[in-house]
Chains A and B, each alone.
Chain A
Amino acid sequence: MSTSAATARAERPRLLERITASSSWTVYALLIVVFVGILVMNPSFGEPMSLMAFVKKAAPLIILAIGQYFVIVSGEFDLSVGSLVGAQVVIAARLMDGEDSMTWPVMGIMLLFGLAVGLVNGLVTTLLKVPSFITTLGMMLVLYGAIRLWTGGAPTGALTEGFRQWGRGGLFGSPGEFQVPYALLIVVVLGVLAALLMRRPYGRTLMATGNNDVAAAFSGAPVWWVRTRAFLLSGLMATVAAVLIGGYAGVTAQVGQGLEFVAITAVVLGGVVLGGGRGSVVAAMAGALTLEALFTLFNQLSLPSTIRPAVQGVIIIAAVAYAAVPRRPRRRATAEPPSSAEPSSPVDPPSRPKEPAAT
């Protein structure tokens, strides 16, 4: 009650402040700056075909960022997604082996496999109380080794055209001309679903769990199941990302390597706080888009390949540092009335941060 009144009162005069107060505004600003930079360097990037090519490349990371967001916001990590993406592409190639009729059955198997990995990650983390950093690190090693053990070290088989179209093809028009990539549609659909999910009770419980799992447990949330579902979602998203990456570029032995760190970086760049409980899924997606755009900008600037990691490092530290500092004082302005209205007790914090986060 008091909360909604407070936010309503604050709504109109502080529109600008609300935009800048949200912890993720830096990512949108950075995204615009990077895009303007690319367009200045190379106006042809604005052409529909170039943009669509960029979308196809960026789609898998955006989807991985969605999955990683669920896990991070619940207060955990998922380091196994890179290995999982690699494993899924290799599984697809080996099981399909170029047989068109196998496309859908194999995609079903991939889905189950992705969910199974997520389930194991989730249960080991929640029920066996292994820190998720270690659980998913171990899972990363297991998947990396197991998939190579299975294929003898290098991927075999081939992906079918029916499988590859999802990452490579599009609607309207023929290959080599302008098309609306399936990847774009998938990203939009999944992004909307994820944003809706975060507004549903599950999303709020997830956020509360990340914020304070003890309090969430006191208020009746099945913390273990909430977190396990986050890992399931991460496994699911990694599977979709694998379909898109495999479709986009085909099979190589290196596919997926290092993606986990890129995905986590993307999510954090989007203003999502590691440790959980804060940040929006749309901003996480924007973080992924920004990171991909940054890679493109480096290319357009003809920056030597070797120096790029250094520039990337400076930018992510600077962006996160900048986002970390001004946020708290500003946030205080919007958050103050509710928290002074009700004295904090172990139970209420989970309900508290939901408001600022959901707006």
Chain B
Amino acid sequence: MRRSRALLAGAATAALMFTAACTTDTPTETAPEGTETTAEETAEAEGSDDSGANSDWFVQADFDRELAQRDIAPEGPADQPWLQAIEPEFVDTSEFASEGGDKVLCFSNASVSNPWRVTGWITMQQQVEVLEAEGVIGEFRVSDAADDDNKQISDIQAFVEAGDCDAIIVSPSTTATLTPAVEAACESGKPVIVFDRGVNTDCMVTFIHPIGGYAYGADGAEFLTENLDEGSTVLALRILPGVDVLENRWAAADKIFSESGLEVVGQEFTGGDAAQIKDIVTQYLQRGPVDGIWMDAGDGSVAAVEAFEDAGQPYPVFMGEDEMSFLRKWQDTEMTAIGAVYSNFQWRTPILAAQMIWNGEEVPSEWVLPQDPIEADELDAYLEENADMPSLHYAKFGGEDLPGYPEAWTDR
């Protein structure tokens, strides 16, 4: 009797699990078709690199373009990479030109929820202070959406409706979802500047971004391919699935690894949490050697290196980021590594772009900033330059000439 009840419960659980699977399965029958066609249509129609709803995140044309852009010398002042642009196509902004200072600059920020964004946000505020001191900007109005797309849509709408923004800067939280809101902002007649992640429209005056995710992922993947023998094993550590910029990084690396002789032993999502990263690397080391580590973002890279130390294994060939704790660890251990860069100095550019637009100066319609990884021979120089900077600061933050340097970044 009791036993049968237990069995019943087990059977019921199993049945329920099946029902659960069935219920959630229903949408997939229509989903793949719908998704794929949309992805292709968008990709073909707009040729955008972040075409949102594609299922495999790999667009050959974008991949080729970004890889080629790495070798193109950018135009612009050599000592101000944040003003450089790769193959710019300038657009006329005279329609937005306006006299006088004390402009209202509105900025809809996706979030400051990771150290990269925190560093960039400080740089941006410092740049704004300069222009405030010069009398160009009167008010800098900011809405932080805390990674909530729905809130960011409302934030942008609020700026549009307030009507007194002289320019609207948007750092979108997700490419596909913010497109309607940005289009609405464009229609309001105010100059709109989008930076970091894109949107599926070209209505904004300028879209500012470093070369991109494919280039980022490829920098690391190529470095591993060059420095490892054929047949070596590589472990890929990723943060989250479904974030377009991160998916592009992996798509490029996956492509390069699949064409090389390297064996990818695993790709794991870690949430960027150091404890998870260390545990996962440790487990892979128990099962066999790992010769190279590829990461889609540098968060927690030191923990991955430590996993090798604690397991008594030789250091791998490592792809990290230009984040200070990793650079310091790299110097200490003298391992073979590369610090990939997703140019943090891009946070300055939108502010300066707004100033240019108010002045009626031409700006590139797609402002592609340079994006060069830190290689071994540059390591010491970057470490020396940023000697006072805390961990989780990004070496290529590009704020050294701003008046708040260095206190603003050291005492954040």
Contact = CB atoms under 8 A, between A and B. Distances in A.
In the complex, is A directly touching B at CB under 8 Å? yes
Contacts of B282: 53, 57
Given A151-B412, A156-B412, A249-B278, A254 B9 contact: no
B72 interface: no
Contact of B275 (A49, A153, A249, A305): A249
A299 B280 CA distance: 8
A151 B115 CA distance: 11
A252 B300 contact: yes
Nearest to B286: A50
B386 to A, nearest CB: 13
Interface string B356-400: 000000000000000000000000000000000011100000000
Given A154-B412, A306-B241, A306-B269, A253 B114 contact: yes
B310 A305 contact: no
B388 to A, nearest CB: 12
Interface in B255-314: 266-269, 271-275, 277-280, 282-283, 286-287, 299-300, 302-303, 306, 309-312
B112 interface: yes
Given A42-B287, A299-B280, A305-B268, A250 B122 contact: no
Contacts of B311: 49, 53, 176
Contacts of A299: 268, 280, 283
Contact of A42 (B12, B238, B286): B286
B390 to A, nearest CB: 4
Interface residues on A, range: 35 or more
B231 interface: no
A300 interface: yes
B391 A155 contact: yes
A116 interface: no
Contacts of A45: 286
B163 interface: no
Contacts of A257: 271, 273
Contacts of B310: 53, 168, 175-176
Contacts of B280: 299
B279 A254 contact: no
Interface in B344-361: none
Nearest to B412: A152
Given A45-B286, A248-B275, A248-B278, A177 B2 contact: no
Interface stretch (A103-111, A201-209, A324-332): A324-332
Nearest to A154: B115
Contacts, number: 144
Interface string A309-347: 000001001100110111001100000000000000000
Contacts of A321: 9, 12-13
A190 interface: no
A351 interface: no
Interface residues of B, number: 54
A158 B391 contact: yes
B392 A155 contact: yes
A249 B390 contact: no
A252 B299 contact: yes
B118 interface: yes
A112 to B, nearest CB: 24
Contact of A156 (B267, B277, B309, B390): B390
A302 B280 CA distance: 11
Nearest to B116: A154
A157 B10 CA distance: 51
Interface in A129-166: 151-158
A245 B274 CA distance: 9
Nearest to B269: A305
Contact of A157 (B112, B121, B275, B391): B391
27 contacts: A42-B287, A44-B287, A47-B286, A49-B312, A152-B118, A153-B412, A154-B114, A154-B115, A154-B118, A156-B390, A156-B392, A158-B391, A175-B309, A176-B309, A177-B312, A249-B273, A249-B303, A251-B392, A254-B271, A255-B273, A258-B271, A295-B279, A300-B283, A321-B9, A322-B9, A325-B8, A326-B9
Given A156-B390, A156-B412, A252-B272, 17 more contacts: A42-B286, A154-B392, A158-B325, A175-B310, A176-B309, A176-B310, A249-B275, A249-B278, A250-B325, A252-B303, A255-B274, A299-B268, A300-B287, A306-B269, A322-B9, A325-B6, A329-B5
Interface of B: 1-3, 5-6, 8-10, 12-13, 17, 112-115, 117-119, 121-122, 238, 241, 266-269, 271-275, 277-280, 282-283, 286-287, 299-300, 302-303, 306, 309-312, 325, 390-392, 411-412
